[in-house]
Structures are given as structure tokens and as C-alpha cells.
Amino acid sequence: MRNRMTLFILFIFLLSFLQGSIGNQIQNESSAPEVTDWPEGSNAYDNLVTMTQFGYRKIDTTANENSRNWIATQLESYGYQVERQSFTTDECDNCQNIVVTINGTLEKDWIVVGAHHDAICYSPPPLIGITYPTCTSSGAYDDATGSGALLELARTFAQWNITPEHTWKLAWWDYEEWQGSGSSEGGGMGSLHFVEQQIPSDVNVTYLNLDMFALNWPVEMPTAMQLTGCDEDYWTLYMFTSPVEDWSYYEDRGLEVTEEMEANAVVLQSQLTELNSNLSHPTDWVRVIDDTKGNSDHYNFIMNGYAATWLRGQHQYAYEEGDTCEQTPKHAQSDSVTTLNTMAGGRTNVESGLQTGMDVIATMALWDRNSTVDNSDEVIIAQGEEGVTSVIAILGMLTITTVFCLVIWRQEKEIF
């Protein structure tokens, strides 16, 4: 009788243990952050097509104003409070950045993701910068790809029930494009206005620039281009990042490089490398390298002491290397959706190229969640470890109970 009572008590204990373990597992799973959406290349493609349909988005034009108003309307439909940052320059009377904020637990540590919504058309090298009345461009590659992708990222982030650790700002810059050889000033005016007028002196910033991508891995190099001398297998996605080795380009332009800048550059390059490894991106075709040329909005951030990177497709500086790998349609009348599709081998490939860049930004956003609440990948890993621990504990208890019951059964058999 005593043995049967012992078995009964053990059974009740085991049942309670199982219920507790399963209950704890369910509770852990229910407290895990839920990501119900992910950016889609097809949506980014649709956005870039819409951008091109506004016409030639040169500064101070109706097309430019209509495109930025459309961006703002889309953002408001996602639930954002839109900030319109207007500014003027010698060449622009009606320029405006569109900015939204995702508040994080760190108010003075920002991650800014930007793309430019304007476009330009002028003569290509070697006579670069000559404008003429009939020169217009729909700016599909430069930079409806970046603006359309950033809008899709904004839509996705709005769906996430996540409080990031850093404060995130998503920005669509006006007046990135140099207005040509007759202009009294350079380009990058929208991001320069933001850097000089919108960032408090006690705020740390990391900047991620989306300008001309989609023609990049996993998009294969067209056979026709290989026959003209470009023997690469894929278009490359470059991440031109605050330098680790060579700061000469920025030093030559007056930047006094500090130890903090150097340290932040190492951190950002390491972070991007880790992100791409996590996404299984091939290092031959998705590359994190020192930026030694500027040429886009990330330049203004680096020159003001902030770590930055530029996600950019196609080949690196083809004209200087004397090859034909670039063939970029930027700043030309040919910069259209049709050209983009032709160079990529169809819409599906353009979507795939856009997806690669968006995956990098979205993964960084996913990792940057509040460590005290969500804790990104570490929560997922911890849950997995807890699940394994629970299973091992349950199996161990079952084994012990079984052995114990067998011992008692044998004892009773010997007695009776």
C-alpha cells in the first residue's frame, strides 16, 4: 500500500512538473516579439514605378513637389507623423525633406536611413553636367529605387510591434543631385540641411544611405554586357562605408579624423559584415568596403563626424577602371523603368536586387530592439535553449520515474 502511495505521489509530482514546463514555454513564446511582416521587393518596385510616373523630378518643379507629397501621404496612411523640413538655397526656392521618426529607448542615439526623391538629367562623361531643354529623366534607378525601397521599409516597420533601442529616422532628401555645370553650388543640399540644422550637438548618429541599387546580387550580368568586356557573373551590391584603412579622400576635404570616428567606422563595418554573413550573402558580390569617393548623401554625414554607409548597386567606378561593367543610366534620359528591367533581365530580377538591400536594413532594424523588452535574436536563441532544457528535464524525470517504478514493482513481485 505504501509503495502504491509513493507511486501516486510521484505521478502527481511529474504531472505538475510537466504542466509547469509547458506553461512556462508557452509564456516565453507569448512574450517573444512578433514580426508579422517583412519588406517585399514587389512592393518596393511598385513604389519606384509610381515615383517615375510623376515625371521629371528636378528641384523646384511640380513633379518634384507632387512626388514628395505622395511619399508623405503614404507615410501618413501607415500611421506616421510626417515632418516636412523645408529649406532654400541659391538654386532652390522650394526644397523639402520628408522625415518620420520611430522613437527608441535611446533618445540621443539615432539611426537615420535616407534616400533622395529628386532627379536630374544632363550629358554623360566625358562632357558631364551639360544641361539642355529637352533633357528629362524619370529617375528610375537614381533614385526611385532608394526612395521606393525606403517607403516599403517604412510600411514594414509600422507593422512591427517593436520599440527599437536607437531612435530611427527615415528621410527622403530633396536636392541631392548636382544641378549641372552652370550651377552655383554642389549637390547633397537636403542631407546637408538635415546634418547642419536638424541634429542636436549631443546626439550620436549612424547613417544608412540608399541610392541606386537593385542592379546588384542576385541579378546576373547580362550576356550582352559580358560580350562587351565585363566578365563578372553578377552585379555587385557595395556598401561604401566610413573608412577603416583609407581616410585620405575625406582628410583632403578638411575632415580631421578623430579616434572616435575611427572606432565608429570599425564598429559599423563589422556590424554590416555580420549582417551579410547572417543573411548568407556571398562576399564576392555583396561587399563592405572603405568609402573613398563620396558622391552621395552619406558624404555629408561622414564629413560631420558620423559613421555612414552607402548601399549602391552595379560595378565600382567603372569609368576610372576602364571597363564596361557599370553602364549606369543615372542622370540620363534613359534612366527609366524599361531600361532598369532590360539591364536586370526583367521585373522579377529587379525585385530580387531590391530585396537584397532591404534585407540588410530590415535585419539591422530587427536586431536593434529594446534589449529589456524584445532583445531581437537573443530572445529567439534563449527561447530555443529554454525549449531544449525543458525537453531534457522532462525526459530525465520520466526516466527516473520509470526506473523507480520498476524497482518498486520488482520488490513487490519478490515479496508476493
Helix ranges (H only) for 78-222 are 145-159, 189-197
- In this structure, the number of other CB atoms found within 10 A of the CB of residue 386 comes to 15
pLDDT at site 329: 86
Would the CA dihedral through 314, 318, 321, 324 be positive or negative? positive
Query: For 195-253, how does the pLDDT look when each residue is reduced to its tens digit (9 = 90+)?
Result: 999 999 999 999 999 999 999 999 998 887 778 777 788 999 999 999 999 999 999 99
pLDDT at site 411: 53
Query: For 290-342, how does the pLDDT look when each residue is reduced to its tens digit (9 = 90+)?
Result: 999 999 999 999 999 999 999 999 876 555 555 567 777 889 899 999 999 99
Distance CA 350, CA 342 (A): 10
- Calculate the average pLDDT of the chain: 84
- Return the SS3 of 197: helix
DSSP 277-317: HHTT--TTTEEEEE--S--STHHHHHHTT-EEEEEE-S-SS
pLDDT at site 19: 44
Distance CA 261, CA 263 (A): 5
**pLDDT above 70: percentage of residues in the chain:** 78
DSSP 11: H
In sequence order, which residues have a C-beta less than 8 Å from that of residue 241 and are 6 or more positions away?
Answer: 265, 268, 269, 272, 288, 289, 290, 291, 307, 308, 309, 310
* Chain position carrying cell 536593434: 368
Give me the phi and psi of 218, to 5 degrees please.
-95, 25
* Chain position carrying cell 549582417: 275
